Amino acid sequence: MKRVVSVSLGSSTRDKRVETEILGERFVIERIGTDGDTDRYRALVEELDGHVDAIGMGGIDLYLRAGAARYQIRDAARLIRGVRRTPVVDGGGIKNSWEKYLILEYLPKEAGISFAGRRVLLVSSVDRYGMAEAFVRAGAQTLFGDFYFALGIPIPMRSLTTVRLLAACLLPVFTKLPFKLLYPTGAKQEQVTPRFPHLFRWAEVLAGDFHLIRRYMPPDLRGKTVLTQTITPADTEELRRRGTRTLITVAPEMDGRSFATNVLEGVVLALSGRRGELGPEEYIEWMLRAGFRPRIETLTAA
């Protein structure tokens, strides 16, 4: 039996364990939250090292990306410094390939969901640069919310060129800062503190990291489409209560849970037998072979 464990800096209230079969292989897929405790995080990944098939980094990315450049987050590298034998993935491979494929190919052609001309708020583009590129190529009116939601500064970015230039200037510095200054960890992931509601009102589609969407979303999301991942049944009900029309997750539900991209990447790595990163086409091929398809759920009537 293969075992993939996502160790997260997020809240342990979101923990989940699933046993399933994928391509004839039995899998245990597990998410363990450490409530923002970095010492506990390091101890847990070192305990798992050599005993599981892949370790996913949850609640933090190892890299932020903009164009061909990627910037390692110092705090993330410190967390996994003691891991020697088991591959560690942060979901970046899936975000940069599968999520682009869904927006440009699968959703328009297989589900009739086009983003051309639609107003999209992507809450963080350097966390999901592949998604940012895909929305632009799909013809969406895209607003990148990095400054708003990571730094609380109302600076809109509407072009990939701007994202790349500012990333080159700022990320070498910001990736050295304590991660908790840039992203909610532990119990903060459970808090909802609406911010910049006009951006949510403007957008037809809310996309990207669900913890950022959830933390800053306003009470009224009537008619919106949410394209994201890392969704629990409680999250689904919260979106339904706020009037969200359509929920799209980039992979199917497993026993009520849409696991994070680092979990999906860990499963793909375990299936492939590889220990390092795969190419973009290989991620797409393995996701299709595994039968992973987006979950598309109508939460409220039009």
Q: What is the DSSP string of 67-132?
A: TTEEEE-HHHHHHTTT--SS-EE-SHHHHTTHHHHIIIIIHHHHS----TT-EEEES-TTT-HHHH
The answer to whether the CB of 15 falls within 8 A of the CB of 234 is no
pLDDT-derived band at 188, boundaries 50, 70, 90: confident
Structure tokens at 102: 């869904």
Q: What is the pLDDT of residues 94-119, one digit of tens each?
A: 999 999 999 999 999 999 999 999 99
Residue 187 has pLDDT above 80, yes or no: no
Q: How far is CA 11 from the centre of its chain?
A: 16
pLDDT value at position 182? 79
DSSP type of residue 263: H
Nearest to 290 by CA among 279, 299, 282, 301: 282
Please, what is the Cα angle at 277 between 271 and 278, to 5 degrees? Answer: 65
What would the mean pLDDT of 9-33 be, rounded to a whole number?
A: 95
pLDDT value at position 130? 96
Q: What is the pLDDT of residues 256-265, one digit of tens each?
A: 899 999 999 9
pLDDT value at position 161? 96
pLDDT value at position 189? 72
DSSP type of residue 13: G
pLDDT value at position 99? 97
What would the mean pLDDT of 224-253 be, rounded to a whole number?
A: 96
The answer to whether the CB of 87 falls within 8 A of the CB of 269 is yes
pLDDT value at position 81? 96
Q: What is the pLDDT of residues 39-50, one digit of tens each?
A: 999 999 999 999
The answer to whether the CB of 135 falls within 8 A of the CB of 158 is no
The answer to whether the CB of 44 falls within 8 A of the CB of 15 is no
Q: How much of the chain, in percent, has pLDDT values that exceed 70?
A: 100
Residue 185 has pLDDT above 80, yes or no: no
The answer to whether the CB of 188 falls within 8 A of the CB of 215 is yes
What would the mean pLDDT of 4-24 be, rounded to a whole number?
A: 95
pLDDT value at position 184? 75
DSSP type of residue 279: P
The answer to whether the CB of 44 falls within 8 A of the CB of 289 is no
What would the mean pLDDT of 228-253 be, rounded to a whole number?
A: 95
Predicted TM-score of the model (pTM): 0.94
Residue 225: phi and psi, rounded to 5, are -105, 135
Residue 181 has pLDDT above 90, yes or no: no
